[in-house]
Amino acid sequence: MGTVRRAFELIRAVIGRASRSLSASLVVPQGLTDEQFRWLSAQVRSHTRQFGEEIYIQGSRAGGTATPESDLDIAILVDAGRFEEILQRSFGNPKIGSAKERTMHHAGKTGKIQAGEAGLRPLRRKLEQELGLEIDISVIRRGGPFDSPPYLRLRWFDSEQTA
């Protein structure tokens, strides 16, 4: 069973890398202007440095399939070890049986730490107010269920295109 799981995770990682490359045809997420994407990239990078540098737009706005009601999904991708560190720092040692403990276990199981638990709620609200879109910012464990393309990398500098 372990060998099958490792093979599945390897295949998933290869597909993820290929999809990240394929989404390079989109330079700006669907529904944003170049100026908005530059602003968003600068805001997100300045508020998420403590998590890591691999930050992507994912989902329909990265893939070009968004509707006017679609949200903007921002994924901070981290490896499993870093995910566990962030999970522990975000939740601490909650009381056994508490809602916080259940939320922590759910985050660990799904490989997704939501904006509120990661301390990113103020950033999310700022982005929503400025862009007029619903925003989902999450720390995502690489290889987990939410590590799913398409991806569009946030910009580092104004002149940077996608990586």
Structural domain boundaries of the chain? 2-153
Q: Is the pLDDT of residue 9 over 90?
A: no
Tokens of residue 7, six digits: 């093979």
What global pTM score does this model have?
0.80
Per DSSP, the residues of 84-152 read: HHHHHHHH-SPPTTSHHHHHHHHHHHHTEEETTTTT-HHHHHHHHHHH-S-EEEEEEETTSTT--S-EE
| CA 97 remoteness from chain centre | 28
**What is the predicted pLDDT for the residue at 3?**
63
Burial of 139 (0-12, 13-18, 19+ CB in 10 A): buried
pLDDT in tens, 44-91: 999 999 999 999 999 999 999 999 999 999 999 999 999 999 999 999
